[in-house]
Structure 1
Amino acid sequence: MSKHSGAGGSLRADALGTFDSVVMAVAGCGPAYTIAGTFPALIAAVGVAGPAVLLYCALPVVGIALAFRHLGRLDPNAGASYAWTGRSLHPFLGFLSGWALVVSATVFMASTALPAGAATLSLFGTPAAGHTALATAVGALWFLLMAGVVMHGARISAHAQTAVTGTQLVLLLAFAVAALSKDGNVADFSPSWFGFGHFDGQHHFVTGALIAVFAYWGWDVTSNLGEETRGGRRGSGFGGVIGVVTCFALFVVFTISVNILVGTDVVRQNPESFLTVLGDAVWPGWGGRLLVLAVLLSTVATLETSLLQATRTLFAMGRDRTLPPAFGRIHPARQTPWTATAVVAGVALALTVAANLGSGAGSGSGVRLLADAVSGVGLLICFYYGLAAFSAVVVHRRQLFASVGNLLLIGLWPLGGGLFMVWIFVRSLTELNALALGIGLGTLVLGVVPMLRYRQHGRSYYEAVPLDPARARAVDASYGVTDLDPSSSRAGTGRSDELLTDF
């Protein structure tokens, strides 16, 4: 029986393998969707300095991924940062960390259904402009399809992701190779695009960094699937690290391609159709349509991974009774959190209809709404990523000086990533408008209400024993686990240190 099973049953163990974890991480970042939906805001904010922002944000995000990796090797938990932060720093911070993830995923899904519908219509030659209701309806159908896939189990979700993400990556990689082989139409490549010379002050970088953090978000779905992954401890977080590095490479190639082939002004003037222009610049006549297909596949894939993250976190919170216990119910045959899935899907669909039809999305207001949603969600991501990084350092503090690898990979790099997230969070508060702050900071503060409401019901969570590598090793032994915890402070032979730095 799972150590995390509750009254409602347990998730299906061994549903996913290491390869599935890597696929989920890449799909969670949604490279093609991010390029189409996030890059216009990034380029509008920093211009040709896009490669620099992506580089300087990738480094701390890899540190966060390392933190998730080592925490997951101690405790594979569907709640991931919610559970780890609660047992490492403070239960209140852990609850707000889980709340931030659920809100982030829900807002993201609500802002993604329309692009999915618009991309579908575009493939059939129908522009989304002037057909907002139709695009919303088509996007809602895609969303319901993905909700059905998630409801049927992680194994089916992984099979679907392999097909969708594999096709997406083939298209993007082929385009990237073709783009890099083209002569510059607008400018020649410049190493200065990776420097600080193109930033107009610190606020310029901060605005771009918040968008870049959002661009990398989603790889941590692999941690929420830890209870359903074979060898959850041994392979925990490996997919997340690979996902961040893969998406960084794709993102940088595409920003360089924009600078060389079409220029940043084209993106600023045509944020909704710049990808078609870029595609035609590489493969005239049909390149734009292939990129739209990649965007559609990526959008559908990220809808699924966002659902997985939100539902697994809600399941863990319901299991701990820090939210209504109904969220912790498991479908008896599928072993999936069906109540959490139904609730998240319903709320996201309602927000989709209200936001898109109520604001006339598809016009300029739709682009602005998406940009505000990205910034608001970026705040929430910085919040729970930073807490997870600090949790990893606190939990492993006694092992940090056992080796240089420990100090770098479990100490300094995650700590630097956490401090970077805090800096971006604080600096962004003075840069964002009211709507973005409402989506980010406002919803985070709102989480205090259910936290206080269910505090008495969730005593097992609020009084849980802190995470400790030595204690985790003892618990493993009691369950007959032979792959001893890699972070055990009692291992004096150097074997644990070797595993700590093992990628």
Structure 2
Amino acid sequence: MSNLRGRGLQANVLGTFDTVVMAVAGSAPAYSIAATTAVLVGAVGLASPAALLYCAIPMLGIALAFSYLGRIDVNAGASYSWVGRTLHPFLGFISGWALVISATIFMVAGSLPAGAMTLALFDETLADDTALSTAVGAAWFVLMLLVVLGGARLTVRAQLLMSGTELTILALFAALALFHTGGAGTFDWSWFGFSHFHGTAGFASGALVAAFYYWGWDVTSNLSEETRNSRRTTGLAGLIGVGVVFLLFEVFTIAVNLVLSSRQIEENDANVLGALGDEVWPGWGGRLLVVAVMLSTVATLETTLIQVTRSLFAMGRDRTMPSALGRVHRTWNTPWVAITVVGAVALALLIASNVLGSVGDILSDAISAIGLQIAVYYGLTGLAVVVAYRKTLLRSPAHFLLGGLWPLSGAVFMFWVLVESLGELDPAAVTIGIGGLAVGLVPMLWYWRRGSDYYRPARLDATRTVAVRYVPDDRTATSPRVHEGLSTDF
């Protein structure tokens, strides 16, 4: 890295509780259940609880990888920096680009349901109007854009309000649903087995959708430069976030199997949670859960904006993307250029999505495409931690398991799911997912030829930590100064 000057993000803004809230909000429990359950049931049927369980185990391995890598390199780019400094800069750029593309696609996949859920509160028939849903969703998106522009402190205050209300409603309905009688089915332990997957390809398709459920907890790593004691806090918050959303996902997926028929799930493909609420609490249930989904969707739009803009900030700072993306606002200490660019691109895509079909059709392809990109950058991060900690893995069984074997297993699982799913998915989803990654080759090769210091990295090693220090500058943001010293943290 070079010793050039750059203005940094505001440090020490977020505490442990704040980052745990961000991790849970990033995975968007209510939104994921409402918008993704129909896709998951379509892929694996009654084995939905099994798909979520078997994906949670390797996902915890990836969360461990983020935790350990965050201890030795605090960087808003997260896997973009870690993979680039352990495996290869090209792979690091692809990791960062995969997050950027998946997050940008989600701006459409998230904004549409936000608009639809808002309209459903007033008139359920309005929620089927894609154009109107787009307009209302765009209004929510612009509001979250302004909140993110206002800084990390404002962002987390908004999250506390939205996610607190969402989780309270979900906890209430989790209890109501599990004790509901007279549903469409009865509990069966086979839901946690492999008999409903119809082979390895079916299992892989379900796991790819399940990966989308969990995605988002790693926003804590993108906020590491703005978090107190971030070498410990961001990784711990990510692990807690995965655990919390796993419990919520399992409870509600079991409840869906118990209460709703396959026909009800198919007819409510964009809001399964609302249908569940109507069944367990007629009259009020559906509306309350629509509120939870709306808040969850808006909340995760905010966390996704943080992920993509912090990643682009790190890329601009390293000059692997236009350096203007690394500029930080003098008052709010936020990457305002990156936020503006992401906002403009996402709004354009949101408007263009009107020609693609209904909300449900758009969600199905978007979820599968995002799942492919998640598998890429999560898998590469799982490999990166093994390389970074290779000299310390044999110090104890705990080091070997938590810093090596479990993350490596998570990485292998992600790559296997990626390969197995390619032949099963809709061609549109594969084109969006893989084509989006391929577009990243253009800026990668361009800035590599221009001599970005990112492509001549100092190797990341767990025996040393990397400290990033910034020198304020009014106009230019470039690569941070990097200092290495002996690490005592594992």
- Please say whether Structure 1 and Structure 2 have the same fold, judged by a TM-score greater than 0.5: yes
Distance 1:80 1:130, change over 3 A: closer
Query: For residue 68 of structure 2, what is the aligned residue in structure 1?
Result: 70
Query: For residue 225 of structure 1, what is the aligned residue in structure 2?
Result: 223
Q: For residue 314 of structure 1, give the secondary structure of its aligned residue in structure 2.
A: helix
Candidates 142, 146, 149, aligned match of 2:147: 149
Correspondence 1:395 to 2:395: no
Asked if the contact 2:93–2:444 (Cα under 8 Å) also holds between the matched residues in 1, the reply is yes
Deviations 1:237-258 (A, max 9, x none): 1111111111111111111111
Query: For residue 28 of structure 1, what is the aligned residue in structure 2?
Result: 26
Asked if the contact 1:74–1:487 (Cα under 8 Å) also holds between the matched residues in 2, the reply is no
Q: For residue 68 of structure 2, give the secondary structure of its aligned residue in structure 1.
A: helix
Q: 1:156, CA displacement in angstroms?
A: 0.7
Asked if the contact 2:391–2:462 (Cα under 8 Å) also holds between the matched residues in 1, the reply is no
Q: 1:127, CA displacement in angstroms?
A: 2.2
Q: Matched residues in 1 for 2:142 and 2:127: separation?
A: 23
Query: Structure 2 matches for 1:347-426, cutoff 5 A?
Result: 347-355=345-353, 357-361=354-358, 366-426=359-419
Q: For residue 237 of structure 1, give the secondary structure of its aligned residue in structure 2.
A: helix
Q: Matched residues in 2 for 1:168 and 1:443: separation?
A: 32
Distance 1:130 1:198, change over 3 A: closer
Q: 1:272, CA displacement in angstroms?
A: 3.1
Query: For residue 204 of structure 1, what is the aligned residue in structure 2?
Result: 202
| TM-score normalized by the length of structure 2 | 0.94
Asked if the contact 2:21–2:163 (Cα under 8 Å) also holds between the matched residues in 1, the reply is yes
Query: Structure 2 matches for 1:282-361, cutoff 5 A?
Result: 282-355=280-353, 357-361=354-358
Amino acid at match of 1:50: S
Correspondence 1:463 to 2:463: no
Q: Matched residues in 1 for 2:384 and 2:218: separation?
A: 15
Q: Which runs of 5+ in 2 are unaligned?
A: 470-483
- Provide the alpha-carbon RMSD of the alignment: 1.9
Q: Matched residues in 2 for 1:274 and 1:96: separation?
A: 34
Q: Matched residues in 2 for 1:298 and 1:210: separation?
A: 21
| TM-score normalized by the length of structure 1 | 0.91
Q: For residue 472 of structure 1, give the secondary structure of its aligned residue in structure 2.
A: strand
Asked if the contact 2:64–2:235 (Cα under 8 Å) also holds between the matched residues in 1, the reply is yes
Asked if the contact 2:174–2:252 (Cα under 8 Å) also holds between the matched residues in 1, the reply is yes
Deviations 1:87-141 (A, max 9, x none): 0100000001101100000001122111101100111124235532222111100
Distance 1:78 1:292, change over 3 A: same
Q: Matched residues in 1 for 2:394 and 2:486: separation?
A: 13
Q: 1:458, CA displacement in angstroms?
A: 4.9
Q: Matched residues in 1 for 2:300 and 2:485: separation?
A: 31
Q: For residue 435 of structure 1, give the secondary structure of its aligned residue in structure 2.
A: helix
Deviations 1:371-396 (A, max 9, x none): 11111111110000000010001100
Distance 1:116 1:4, change over 3 A: farther
Q: For residue 463 of structure 2, give the secondary structure of its aligned residue in structure 1.
A: helix
Deviations 1:57-104 (A, max 9, x none): 000001000000000011110000000000010000000110110000
Query: Structure 2 matches for 1:167-316, cutoff 5 A?
Result: 167-316=165-314
Q: 1:323, CA displacement in angstroms?
A: 0.5
Query: For residue 480 of structure 1, what is the aligned residue in structure 2?
Result: none
Asked if the contact 2:90–2:444 (Cα under 8 Å) also holds between the matched residues in 1, the reply is yes
Q: Matched residues in 2 for 1:280 and 1:486: separation?
A: 58
Distance 1:6 1:170, change over 3 A: farther
Q: Matched residues in 1 for 2:256 and 2:215: separation?
A: 22
Q: Matched residues in 2 for 1:458 and 1:191: separation?
A: 57
Q: For residue 334 of structure 2, give the secondary structure of its aligned residue in structure 1.
A: coil
Q: Matched residues in 2 for 1:418 and 1:246: separation?
A: 22
* Higher deviation after alignment, 413-422 or 3-12: 3-12
Asked if the contact 1:79–1:98 (Cα under 8 Å) also holds between the matched residues in 2, the reply is yes
Identical-pair percentage: 55
Q: Matched residues in 2 for 1:486 and 1:257: separation?
A: 51
Q: For residue 454 of structure 1, give the secondary structure of its aligned residue in structure 2.
A: helix
Q: Matched residues in 1 for 2:486 and 2:16: separation?
A: 20
Asked if the contact 1:28–1:217 (Cα under 8 Å) also holds between the matched residues in 2, the reply is yes
Q: For residue 350 of structure 2, give the secondary structure of its aligned residue in structure 1.
A: helix
Deviations 1:169-228 (A, max 9, x none): 000011001111223522221111111112212111111111000111000000000000
Query: Structure 2 matches for 1:23-62, cutoff 5 A?
Result: 23-62=21-60
Query: For residue 476 of structure 2, what is the aligned residue in structure 1?
Result: none
Asked if the contact 1:69–1:236 (Cα under 8 Å) also holds between the matched residues in 2, the reply is yes
Query: For residue 133 of structure 2, what is the aligned residue in structure 1?
Result: 135
Distance 1:359 1:421, change over 3 A: same
Correspondence 1:431 to 2:428: no
Count, aligned residues = 476
Query: For residue 121 of structure 1, what is the aligned residue in structure 2?
Result: 119
Q: 1:268, CA displacement in angstroms?
A: 2.1
Q: Matched residues in 2 for 1:330 and 1:173: separation?
A: 39
Q: Matched residues in 1 for 2:435 and 2:454: separation?
A: 25
Deviations 1:263-289 (A, max 9, x none): 333202331353332112211211010
Asked if the contact 1:322–1:458 (Cα under 8 Å) also holds between the matched residues in 2, the reply is no
Q: For residue 200 of structure 1, give the secondary structure of its aligned residue in structure 2.
A: coil
Asked if the contact 2:16–2:237 (Cα under 8 Å) also holds between the matched residues in 1, the reply is yes
Asked if the contact 2:464–2:485 (Cα under 8 Å) also holds between the matched residues in 1, the reply is no
Asked if the contact 1:4–1:77 (Cα under 8 Å) also holds between the matched residues in 2, the reply is no
Asked if the contact 2:11–2:225 (Cα under 8 Å) also holds between the matched residues in 1, the reply is yes
Distance 1:486 1:388, change over 3 A: farther
Asked if the contact 1:115–1:139 (Cα under 8 Å) also holds between the matched residues in 2, the reply is yes
Q: Which runs of 4 or more aligned residues in structure 1 lie more than 6 Å from their structure 2 counterparts after TM superposition?
A: 3-6
Q: Matched residues in 2 for 1:290 and 1:11: separation?
A: 38
Asked if the contact 1:321–1:454 (Cα under 8 Å) also holds between the matched residues in 2, the reply is yes
Deviations 1:23-70 (A, max 9, x none): 000000000000111111001111110000000000000100000000
Q: For residue 465 of structure 2, give the secondary structure of its aligned residue in structure 1.
A: helix
Amino acid at match of 2:111: A
Q: 1:343, CA displacement in angstroms?
A: 0.3
Query: For residue 446 of structure 1, what is the aligned residue in structure 2?
Result: 439
Q: Matched residues in 2 for 1:242 and 1:6: separation?
A: 37
Q: Which runs of 5+ in 1 are unaligned?
A: 478-484
Distance 1:277 1:130, change over 3 A: closer
Q: For residue 84 of structure 1, give the secondary structure of its aligned residue in structure 2.
A: helix
Q: For residue 230 of structure 1, give the secondary structure of its aligned residue in structure 2.
A: coil
Q: Matched residues in 2 for 1:373 and 1:113: separation?
A: 12
